[in-house]
Amino acid sequence: MDDETSIRELICRVLVDDGYACDGAGDAEEGLSLLARERYECVLSDIHMPGIDGIEMLRRIRLTDQEVGVVMITGAPDMDSALEAMRLGAHDHLSKPLNLSHLTLTVERAVEKKRLVEENLEYQRNLESMVQERTKQLHEANQELRRLFLSSIKALAQALEAKDEYTQGHSARVAEESVKIARYLSLADAEIENIWLAGFLHDIGKIGIRESVLNKPGKLDAAEWEIVQQHPVLAEKILAPIEELAEVIQIVRHHHERFDGSGYPDSLAASDIPLGARILGVADAFDALTSRRPYRDALSTEEALTVLEDAAGTQFDAVIVRAFVSCLADDQIAALAGGSRRSLDPLQDASGIEFPLSNPFSFRPTDAS
């Protein structure tokens, strides 16, 4: 583009002689309308033109086209305009009077830069789609790992239930009630997940206890009771190789601690007991109390709550007991209203695994915490 017809025609002639197709425009408006209609490799434009000058024209070109090569033609002393043009995205500049031997070389360089810009943009676009694809693959692989992981947890829980006739469904119910309490206390999703897993695994250590003790129909003697009390520590040993369960293991190890410090295995008290373990302790005791024993019938919900409330502040964290009472009240209101309950399995959607949340009640005496 140049408002001087003689210069415009001279430039076009040189470029056509060197193998380029060339269109001339007498001002910026005409040039911009050519650019809107056709794709060009390179724009050569005078900076000083009547109407829209070269700088403004360049600004408008770059609003919609980052790739086309642009070479600005300046008067010899006008270096400021040349620098401004370069800042706005011109690839090069030529000074008047034009050195025709430089013209084609400068255009070639601008076209080459345009090609590099295009390649770079294409590379970035490919990179973005590659990253998206890899992220999707990683997500799918994680989902698969999670599914396998949860299958292993389920297999572990089932292994215990196959051995201990009194624990069928106990782990799942403890997990379910613990999640209710954790949600009531507005714990973070990750904590709720850990508590849910701990619920499933809390008695897994009983796998390491011989069946004559585990399935003894009557009350245990002192020696047998001591053996049963090993189960939180045995659980820790069984689960220790699974790094992902580090926090879950702490909940499992301490689910028989008592708020007053008289529990086992470490005689922890109050807030030294992990919150998840305090929650699990209440849910565990409630499930044991409301389950039938060989030597007694199951307690009613009201009777079991009385036992929990009486032990609030000694065996149990009073805050957790109050939360549990509120959860049960909410459940009763929801049941009366006939509303549908939200799934209590925080991982069920992701895993597609159905855990045994509603097996028949059947428990052994030693389970009462």
Residues 6+ apart with CB under 8 A from 296: none
Closest approach, Cβ 141 to Fe ion, in A, equals 34
Residues 6+ apart with CB under 8 A from 283: 173, 174, 177, 178, 181, 199, 324
Closest approach, Cβ 284 to Fe ion, in A, equals 4
Q: How far is CA 177 from CA 129, 192, 237, 323, 331, in A?
A: 44, 11, 25, 11, 11
Nearer to Fe ion, 107 or 280 (CB): 280
Nearer to Fe ion, 257 or 284 (CB): 284
Sign of the four-CA dihedral 218, 219, 220, 222: negative
Instruction: Examine the residue annotation and report whether 113 is marked as an active-site residue of this protein.
Output: no
DSSP element (H, E) containing 94 = strand 92-96
Nearer to Fe ion, 45 or 291 (CB): 291
DSSP element (H, E) containing 235 = helix 231-239
Find the Cα–Cα–Cα–Cα dihedral 16, 17, 18, 21, rounded to 10°: 10
Nearer to Fe ion, 93 or 253 (CB): 253
Closest approach, Cβ 275 to Fe ion, in A, equals 17
Structural contact between residues 89 and 63, judged by C-beta atoms closer than 8 angstroms:
no
Catalytic, out of 113, 114, 136, 206: 206
Nearer to Fe ion, 49 or 174 (CB): 174
Nearer to Fe ion, 203 or 257 (CB): 203
Question: Which residue blocks in 38-99 are alpha helix, DSSP H?
Answer: 54-64, 79-87
Closest approach, Cβ 130 to Fe ion, in A, equals 49
Closest approach, Cβ 233 to Fe ion, in A, equals 11
Closest CA to 175 of 160, 187, 192, 155: 192
Residue 256 sits at the vertex; the CA angle it makes with 229 and 306, to the nearest 5 degrees, is 120
Residues that bind Fe ion (CB under 5 A): 203, 284, 367
- The two tokens of residue 43 are 């724009």
Nearer to Fe ion, 28 or 209 (CB): 209
Mark 265-276 as b/e (b = at least 16 C-beta within 10 Å).
Answer: eeebeeeebbbb
Closest approach, Cβ 127 to Fe ion, in A, equals 52
Nearer to Fe ion, 193 or 367 (CB): 367
| Distance (Å, whole) CA 22 – CA 182 | 74
Question: Which residue blocks in 246-313 are alpha helix, DSSP H?
Answer: 246-253, 275-289, 301-310
| Distance (Å, whole) CA 37 – CA 39 | 7
> In which residue are the tokens 């000058």 written?
53
Mark 345-357 as b/e (b = at least 16 C-beta within 10 Å).
Answer: bbbeeebeeebbe
Closest approach, Cβ 170 to Fe ion, in A, equals 6
Closest approach, Cβ 206 to Fe ion, in A, equals 7
Residues labelled as active-site residues: 206
